[in-house]
Structures are given as structure tokens and as C-alpha cells.
Structure 1
């Protein structure tokens, strides 16, 4: 899907084939290289010879996984394997009794001289077993080289993820990338067994999702006149930037993600980062003044006028369309970096706070956030938000004289930690909240490799050191964030994401005690060759 010229593709293909030619028929040292590293891997004796006569056995419930495996094997063997009802060379098997040992996403992969068996409690587990098979095959298998047969060492893998939440976030508000780029990212996430795509679709610099009840959100809010080039700079690109997804396009992407067993979590920012929406509908802003879609980046003056029932209903109307569109259980409402000044100077807000006995703007935000949380609960969804929504002064803005926060965040909320003292994670889980850890010092992909080198990405542990064992189940996992303020092109974005995405994949999947950075770097060389075949840019640390 990634666009490049035929000449560049042919040259890239030739170079990579030369680089890996000696190891394409079988594994040179007999050791498999899989990212993320499996929970348990043991070797048997001998090799399986996989040839063009291979056939696959699978139940009807695994039709999607069967077709995936057929397509994979057809790429290197020139013909698609036939499906048989029994005695298949490759057997895909569902066993609900394995749920207690393998969980929702685990699998057992057994390679013997007679064939391959993948067993799992769910189709997701089967899918991840197939992803491991992909990495057992020669690197050139999927990319144009044809084989009469390939050899795979006999082995047994028993595997399941450490965390249920293994996410990549893409910010498309700041720089729109488009559905083909999104699909490419989903492909790479799937190979690395990542299961959550967090999609940041609205912010000050652009509204990227069609809302049919409020068409101006995309007619006006999806385009800005110019773009700031770098931090603290007056320089601009001198060109407009625009783009948004029609609901049919979102459905297409969601269907694509579903086949890859990836959940998509949309982020619709509220009550801050609202400039693009206010530009479209000025009456929803607290300052009651017209705004333009922001052309610079940072924290902006206006916020939604959440003391006005019509504005709250506006936001609920938007969420109604999002709820119908996205089948997943979670909707992210942002909630970070809210500017309280327009509320503090609004007679309407101050009157509302007095009536509701809200002591501070922070309490007002939590009150509003809980209203949205309850609304989503009643719709069968669960709210998620950045950890600003808990009310802590994570930006050190309020001073010693600020009123104590009295409102308490709804317990059903998933807290997305990104900033502040790590003790805030302990506090959240001890109070019963589920947490996704995306500490910006460890997971922000827009940060340079000097600030977050590959080794630091790999060393990240979503569970804070010393956390009591009884609370660890509340740490759902981790997210890696691709904020795009200063990342306008796809090539720049790829170099920020890759190869660190592979490190975060292993952080989310592999038991902490099984991680080994030296081994990971060796295994990463195989993945890099795959990226080269696909034309994916990646950063090489010196």
C-alpha cells in the first residue's frame, strides 16, 4: 500500500535479497527469531518440510484465519493451500478448555516433522499463532521469491500476552495521514501482536471525523490555513492543511482492523483542545468569540462551554454517532490540558458552579467528565481519558492557594497515565481504577531517539516499581503515542515509530523476566529486513 516507484522498489528488493539470500531456505543457526519473544519456546528434533502440496484443516469459525494463512502461504509457494476436513498438514484448532491456561489471546504452536498444529481458546489466539508462523518462514517468503519448499525447525511454543492492552496511538488531528497509511500501521501492529489502535481524531488543529448532525465540524473544522514549522517559531509552511474521514471510510478501516484482531479506540477531545470545533460552531466555546482552526501548537485559550446544557448535548450528539460507528467497548475523551481561564471569567460558568456546589474549575471538569462517563456507561461503552481528569495538578499550574478538589472521578473510567509523579498510578489503582501506562518520558514516539533510545523503549515496564501485587491486575498495559505536531510526512512518522514499535510490542507481550535486549536487537534485524521490503523507513541508532 505504501507508494513508491517501480525502480525504487526493484532496487530495494534486490538489495534485501542479496542481504538475506544465505538464510532464506532455513534458519541458519536453527534458532527462531520472533518478536515479541514467546512466553515459552522449546526445540524438538528435525525439521518440517513445507511444500506446495500442503493442506489446511480448520473449523468454520476460523474462516478468516484460514484465509489469512492460505494467502500467506500462497505468496511463497505460488499456490494457495487447499482446505481439508481431516488430516491437514496444518491444523487450526479451537479448544475452549484452554481459556484458563492460554487466556483470550494465547496459543500453542507445535511444529513436528508431520505438520503444524495451532491450538487456542479463541480465534485471536489462532491469529497470533499464524503471526508466529510468519516469522518462522524465510524473510523473502512474502515478498516475491518463490519456493518449492521451505524448512521449519521442530518446536513447541506456548504463548500468551502479559497485558491485554497493547496499543499504538496515531494523532491525525495535527497532521492528517489517510486510510492507506492507517492500514499499513495496522498491518505492522498485527505482525507484532499489538491489539489496540488509539485514534486521536479531534484537536485544536483539525477535526478529522465526519459527524452527520454537525457537518460544519468537517466543512470548517477539518482545514487550517497554515501550519507552524517548529516550536517557538514564527515560521509557517504557507500552505493550508486539511483532511478528514467520512464515516464509510472509518467503517472500512474498522473492518480491516477487525480481521487483524485490533480494537480501535477513537479519541474525541473534551472539554479542552476544542478550537477546531469552536471554529465550526462558535456558540460551543466558553469565550463566546469566533475562533479559527489553530495553525500553531500548544495549549489554547478557549474550552467547551460545559455549563451550557446545549453544549453538553452537542457533545453527547457527537458521541452518539461515534458509539454507533465504533463497535469497541472503549471511547477516549482526552480531557488533558484544559484551559480554565475562560471558565473563570464566564458568568454562566460561575453561576453553574455555585448551583452545583463546585469549588473549583477542576471540580467542574470532573463533574462534566462524570456526566459523560455515565452517559457512555448507559450506552454500553466505557470512558477513558488522560490522567488530568483525576484532578491532580500534574502541570504545576495552580499554586498553593488553589481550592482542594472535592469531586471524585467515576470508578468505571480507564485512567490513561501520561504525566506526573508515578505515585499517581499507585493512587489510581489503589482507588480501584484501571490504568493504561503511557508515561511520556518512556512512550512518546515524537520524542527524539536521544531522549527515548530503543533501549529505553524496551526497558519500559508499565507496572511501577514496588506496586503491591494485589493491584497489578489494574494495570491494563501500555500505549505508544505518535503525536504529529512536528511530524508532517509519512516518512518522518515511520522513522519515529520504527523500530521502537517492536520494542513496545515486546513490552506488552513478553513476561518481564523473559526480556533480553541483546536477543531483541538480534531478532529485530529480521523485522528490519521485512520493513525494507515494504519500503518502510526506520531509524538506525549509531
Structure 2
């Protein structure tokens, strides 16, 4: 591997380590950068040296380097070159996703305890290259700074959620989002696939879910508005489509977490099979947004069997450990007025609709547990009155959520997170005031996104490990186009990536804003419509 050290001798262009480190514009910020004053030339004939377990990563690196060098480097198992290596002895230093990246006069190398770590080292190396490296062939030498980066993730759960129930986007858009997630070291794609306004996943046992449930006749244009677009909206993913996207995500070390809403936000499914509903009157997919009246009739064993059948197909499709069941915003008034629900609650000695929801949720959680996976749901599933209307003042909730459940916090007093972790639950923090990407930049400015810390202020250190990380959510009720969606996501996604990856002592908003200019150049070349106000 022909890599030469170039020492910058002239005072006019001399770079000291402090000044040089500012020019390393990696997002999320690595936890340690040791930079020397030398520069190295990236050899156009460099080979990639990698063991068999790193074939995917070696291929990704070869594709990357081939764009700017004009030729793809060969991949070898031995010899000199750009070395990718897994070293299990590095666990204490790097954890499961950390890496060591070295650019030295004799060698470039990425070493990690796991394949994941090697992949993230490649993502950091990408951002050291010129911003336009992947968009044109370089005819001049490419200079790289001599350095050593030692890096690891702060949290194991760094998620981005896309709601496609409200507005379907399609495979190409999802793959583009996965590409940007990978660059920013985000590792969970939370895929909101079902809701009142559309069912977006093929379930072979119940074909009407997509035949009927994936289509709506019209769409509300604004909150509480009677105006409509005057256009129908439809779309869904076949199971083959989903397998293709899962394979794509796996290569980028992103786990997909599917969300199948229950027991509320279910009108698209009920429109397809009306016997699923509590009201018995729902026959159309909702064209308006908000908290709907109908929900699954969970007192009926046939409805429970339906949900288990759906989960069977979902769990067979998605290899990840976690299945999200939503569980938010159930309209309890509908249950209160149902004779079937009242009879079931009396039989099971359930005192309130809240107890009924927890009872139902635990049944689903147990079913998912038996399949070797874990259930996740919005923090409504704990039974707290986060909407300030669900629970009668005179009644104390008696049912208790299964401890295997992951609590996805989105609403309510932050003290609810403290309570959850102290009771033994794992928590993902997605406080809506801080993480909802459908909010305007006036309501959720970039600085506030960047300042978000998944660990609530004042939480005892012994409970910090119970905070798995964060999620940021792209709800799409009022975001119909890809262009508008990208404007809401970028650049805030970069801020959340740093909140999820970088240790707090390495963060700084002013430094982040400077680094962001480099990332914006990449987005411009990619064609992403980011917000630049």
C-alpha cells in the first residue's frame, strides 16, 4: 500500500493538532480523535484486506472508494492495504459498536470487537473524505490527515421512525432514509405500518387488509379542517418488498422494528374486516386524523386470534428482537359503551378500561415472548393517565404491565420515566416535545433537538442502563410529499444521531453547527431537500 507522509513545513500552511481536529467533520462526533500534523496520500491502487466475516463491509468500502478513485479496490484476505479487522479482545474499550480507525504513514486500518463496529468505522472514514468524493472521480491526489479515532456508542438504541400509514412513501424512499441513517450511525428503523388511515403490510392470511385497508378515498388537509384533498391515497408493501428492505437494512447494520397498532388506531383493519371492531359500524378507512372512536373488540377470542395470526406473519418476516404494538390513544369511551366489553371485564374482574388494556397488552406480550421476541409499546401501556381523561379519579389501576415489555416514552411527566426504570422496565425516550419531526422548526428548533438527552435530569446513575436510548419520529399526517418530509427530517436527524452516539463531554452545539456544513454539502449532492433556514 503506497501511502506517503507529507510533513507541512511552511509556516503558512502548518497545522497544529488542535486546529486540525476542527477540520475533521464527523457526525456524530467521535469520542476521541488524536491527530498529528502529517498528511497521507490515499493510493489509487490500494487493496482492502479483510477476513471472510467482513465481506459485506469490505464490499461497501470497495464501492465507496471506487466512486472517487475511479476503480474499485480489490478485496483480499491477506497482504498490505486498507485493513478491516475484528478483534474480540477489544470489548471493554469499545463495546459492541465501537471501533478504532487509524490513518498512518504505512497503513489505514479499522479495528473493532464486532462487525458492526467495523461498519461504523467505515462511516467515519467516509466523512473524512472530501464531501464530493462519492459524486465524481478525482484526478488529483487525495490527502488524508494522520490520526487515530477511538469511538463507541453511548446508547444501544438510536432510532428513526417513519409513519407510512398516513402517507405511503415506497421502497426507494425508505432505502434512501436507511442510507442516511447508516451514515449517521443510527441503528433502529422503527416502521409504523398500520393505523386508522392505512394498512401497509401484506398479511397473507387476511388479504383484505391490503385489498381494502391500504386505500382511502380522500384525505383531510389540516387539523380539525373540513377540507379534503379530493384525491384517493393508497399503497402497501408485499412480503417480498419487505424482505428486500430488510436485506438492505441488514447490510447497513440497521434493525427494523415493525409497529402493528393495537388495540386502538385500528380502523383500516376494521374497515377490511368489520367484525374486528367494537362499534360494528366501521366500513371505511379513515380520511381524517386524530383519536378515532373505534378499536379492536378485544373481548372476542376471534379478534385475539386474528391479532396473533398477524403477529405470526410479522414475526416470521422481521428477524429483529422487538415488535412494537403501539398501544397509544385508545378511545375508552367506546369500550365503556360496549355490552361485550362490559361482560368481559366483569368475567375477568377488570375494574376499568385501563385495566382491560393492560390485561390485553400482557396477553400480547406473553405471545411475543413465547416466540423469542420482546414487545414494545408507547407509554400509554403502563396505565398512567397521560391524556388526563382516561382514568376515573376514584379508581386505582390494579393491572401491572409485564416486565419484559419495553416502554416507549412519548408523553406525560418525565417522572413517569423514573418510575418505569425503578420498577425494572427498559425505556426508550422519545419525549414528543423534543423528538417529533412533524413539529415546525419554530416549535422544535435544531438547537433543542441537539440538546435532547435520553436520560432525564436527576435520574440516579444506577438506573441509567435502563434507558436504552432514543427515537425520533416522522409522523406523516400533514407531511404528504417526500420533499416536505426531507425538510422536516434534515438536519435534525444529524442532531439526534449525536445525542444517541456521542458522550456528553464531547458534545457542543457550536462545533456541531460547523461540522454540519460539511454534511449539508453531501446532502446537496445527494439531492436531499434539507432545511437550511
TM-score class, shorter: over 0.9
Query: Separation in 2 of the partners of 1:64 and 1:398?
Result: 50
With over 3 angstroms needed to count, the CA separation of the structure-2 counterparts of 1:152 and 1:221, relative to structure 1, is same
Q: Is the 8 A contact 2:350 2:356 kept in 1?
A: yes
Q: Please give the residue correspondences for 1:370-409 in structure 2 after superposition, counting only pairs within 5 Å.
A: 370-398=362-390, 401-409=393-401
Q: Is the 8 A contact 2:329 2:380 kept in 1?
A: yes
Q: Tell me if 1:274 matches 2:266.
A: yes
Of the three residues 137, 155, 160, the one matched with 2:147 is 155
Q: Tell me if 1:438 matches 2:430.
A: yes
- CA RMSD in angstroms comes to 1.2
Equivalent in the alignment of 1:523? 515
The Cα of 1:103 is off from its aligned counterpart by 0.9
Of the three residues 410, 429, 451, the one matched with 2:402 is 410
The Cα of 1:144 is off from its aligned counterpart by 1.8
Query: Separation in 1 of the partners of 2:21 and 2:435?
Result: 34
Q: Secondary structure at the match of 1:51?
A: coil
Equivalent in the alignment of 2:16? none
Q: Secondary structure at the match of 2:296?
A: coil
The Cα of 1:148 is off from its aligned counterpart by 4.2
Equivalent in the alignment of 2:129? 137
Query: Separation in 2 of the partners of 1:320 and 1:29?
Result: 50
Deviation string, structure 1 residues 86-112 (Cα, Å, up to 9, x no partner): 332211011011122211110000110
Q: Is the 8 A contact 1:52 1:148 kept in 2?
A: no
Equivalent in the alignment of 1:512? 504
Of the three residues 463, 470, 487, the one matched with 1:471 is 463
Q: Tell me if 1:77 matches 2:77.
A: no
How many residues were matched structurally? 515
Query: Separation in 2 of the partners of 1:514 and 1:57?
Result: 32
Equivalent in the alignment of 2:214? 222
Equivalent in the alignment of 2:526? 534
Q: Secondary structure at the match of 2:280?
A: coil
Q: Tell me if 1:323 matches 2:291.
A: no
Of the three residues 350, 361, 364, the one matched with 2:353 is 361
Query: Separation in 1 of the partners of 2:454 and 2:56?
Result: 32
Q: Which moved more, 1:438-447 or 1:346-355?
A: 346-355
Query: Separation in 1 of the partners of 2:340 and 2:163?
Result: 33
Gaps spanning 5+ residues in structure 1: where? 1-26
Gaps spanning 5+ residues in structure 2: where? 1-18
Q: Is the 8 A contact 2:101 2:111 kept in 1?
A: yes
Deviation string, structure 1 residues 272-316 (Cα, Å, up to 9, x no partner): 001000000000001122331000000011110000011001000
Q: Tell me if 1:92 matches 2:69.
A: no
Equivalent in the alignment of 1:343? 335
Query: Separation in 2 of the partners of 1:296 and 1:85?
Result: 57
The Cα of 1:351 is off from its aligned counterpart by 1.1
Query: Separation in 2 of the partners of 1:461 and 1:38?
Result: 17
The Cα of 1:51 is off from its aligned counterpart by 2.3
Deviation string, structure 1 residues 166-220 (Cα, Å, up to 9, x no partner): 0000000000000100000000000000000000000000000000000000000
Q: Tell me if 1:233 matches 2:225.
A: yes
- TM-score for the superposition, normalised by structure 1: 0.94
Equivalent in the alignment of 1:485? 477
With over 3 angstroms needed to count, the CA separation of the structure-2 counterparts of 1:405 and 1:29, relative to structure 1, is closer
Q: Secondary structure at the match of 2:304?
A: helix
Equivalent in the alignment of 1:64? 56
The Cα of 1:399 is off from its aligned counterpart by 6.1
Query: Separation in 2 of the partners of 1:87 and 1:434?
Result: 45
Query: Separation in 1 of the partners of 2:76 and 2:367?
Result: 49
Q: Tell me if 1:450 matches 2:450.
A: no
- TM-score for the superposition, normalised by structure 2: 0.95
Q: Is the 8 A contact 1:353 1:364 kept in 2?
A: yes
With over 3 angstroms needed to count, the CA separation of the structure-2 counterparts of 1:339 and 1:156, relative to structure 1, is same
Deviation string, structure 1 residues 301-353 (Cα, Å, up to 9, x no partner): 11100000110010000000000000000000000000112211111111111
